[in-house]
A and B are shown apart, each in its own frame.
Chain A
Amino acid sequence: EDQVTQSPEALRLQEGESSSLNCSYTVSGLRGLFWYRQDPGKGPEFLFTLYSAGEEKEKERLKATLTKKESFLHITAPKPEDSATYLCAVRMSGTSYGKLTFGQGTILTVHP
């Protein structure tokens, strides 16, 4: 069965304390792995797309990496405004473009 699992469920960091979020997936064919950020009461906001193992993408304090089994979202020197739920999702081969399978998310809290 195709699955996307994120860990940890929640993460508390001090401002400036770097860490990583994990997204492991078991899918029959990957056509893209996506990272989204979701603030309370809002819809998910797109961060990155990764298509193949070894690929990396960066944006400000965030860096996403991809292997054949998992993806990591590295947060360097986080700030309180980075507090949000981070969602990982996959698009599988043989399915339609608008269907993503999401993980349960990691709730990140950054304390000043």
Chain B
Amino acid sequence: KAGVTQTPRYLIKTRGQQVTLSCSPISGHRSVSWYQQTPGQGLQFLFEYFSETQRNKGNFPGRFSGRQFSNSRSEMNVSTLELGDSALYLCASSSSGSRTGELFFGEGSRLTVL
């Protein structure tokens, strides 16, 4: 069973640009969550999508947005990039029917903003 796939793995942008990151969840998982990981703040929740609807949103500015498609694949977008947006962006998928309730994480997209 394939895991969570994130693309691209690495990217470099400059301030003011925008970026789109992609996530393909585990087959059958309908929930996709996004997290930002930085050395200073750790892992922070960005948003969650379920059946193409945003179910929850973390405390991030409106420059951070996302969407989910009918096949459960998800994208997140960051507009007007700032230096502080440099981070590892992690996508996780889950199945609410799971007994252990865990999230399955991808390997992340490493964003560097210059």
Task: Give the B-binding residues of A (Cβ under 8 A).
Answer: 31-32, 34, 36, 41-46, 49, 87, 89, 91, 95-105
Contacts and interface: CB of A to CB of B under 8 A. Distances in A.
Contact of A98 (B4, B42, B55, B108): B55
B42 A100 contact: no
B3 to A, nearest CB: 9
Contact of A49 (B48, B96, B100, B105): B100
6 contacts: A36-B105, A98-B56, A98-B92, A98-B103, A99-B33, A102-B43
A49 B101 contact: yes
A91 B101 contact: yes
Interface string B1-28: 0001000000000000000000000000
Interface string B40-68: 00111100101000011010000000000
B107 interface: yes
B35 to A, nearest CB: 8
Contacts of A95: 56
Contacts of B45: 99-101
Interface SS of chain B = strand
A16 B96 CA distance: 38
A43 B50 CA distance: 21
Interface of B: 4, 31-33, 42-45, 48, 50, 55-56, 58, 90, 92, 94, 96, 100-108
B48 A96 contact: yes
Nearest to B6: A43
Contacts, number: 67
A47 to B, nearest CB: 9
A101 B100 CA distance: 17
Contacts of A36: 105
A45 B42 contact: no
A89 B32 CA distance: 17
Nearest to B107: A43
